[in-house]
Structure 1
């Protein structure tokens, strides 16, 4: 059986990772990225809609996380119109959609732990 985490480093875009898990955590890690993806799994959203749903995240942090998710091609940002006020819509890309099954498993696992601790 092959070892999952090897000592050889994986180099991607001038960054070095000890294993694929480390790469993925850098990719979707951070406190809010998975939460944002979770909110986009139910459909496209405008910035204001996301801000309203994620009121516990500052506007600046939300903006930064959205830019990082777009840079990493997990979401797409579509601008409608050329003159202000323009309409900007965020949606999951194909890569972002491929993450949803894993996100659902993480959510289920979290619920199981919270139920076992009698929090839910």
Structure 2
């Protein structure tokens, strides 16, 4: 019988399943990619990831924070407060995978598609 993996009260059949639970879905990896080089405020992320809704961005950031991949730092105690998102040390361990995904995406574009200019 094969081994299962347990993490935070959840059981996974394999390490790929565990990884996809942490970073899977349409937006989590995109958000992590946009945070890989520097910390950002919510509005900066929203501008860079135009197709994401505000509700989805908020939910995904919260899930990434709960997973320990993203740190939410709040500055100030009265409005307007400043909130900054950054990768945790654990989140930074995913950067090689982000770079591999990005490189593969560039290969797909080169072989099967093309870049287009988007309207601002």
The answer to whether structure 1 residue 7 and structure 2 residue 2 are counterparts is yes
How many residue pairs get aligned? The number is 115
Which runs of 5 or more residues in structure 2 are unaligned? 116-120
The answer to whether structure 1 residue 96 and structure 2 residue 91 are counterparts is yes
Distance in 1, Cα, partners of 2:50 & 2:111: 28
Query: For residue 52 of structure 2, what is the aligned residue in structure 1?
Result: 57
Give 1:13 shift. 2.1
Query: For residue 3 of structure 1, what is the aligned residue in structure 2?
Result: none
Distance in 2, Cα, partners of 1:59 & 1:118: 29
Query: For residue 26 of structure 2, what is the aligned residue in structure 1?
Result: 31
Which runs of 5 or more residues in structure 1 are unaligned? 1-5
**What's the C-alpha RMSD, in Å, of the aligned pairs?**
1.4
Distance in 2, Cα, partners of 1:50 & 1:63: 10
Query: For residue 70 of structure 1, what is the aligned residue in structure 2?
Result: 65
TM, length-normalised to structure 1: 0.89
Give 1:117 shift. 1.2
Answer whether contact 1:7 1:19 (CA < 8 A) is retained: no
Give 1:110 shift. 1.7
Give 1:96 shift. 1.0
Distance in 2, Cα, partners of 1:79 & 1:54: 22
Give 1:90 shift. 0.4
SS in 2 for 1:88: strand
SS in 2 for 1:11: strand
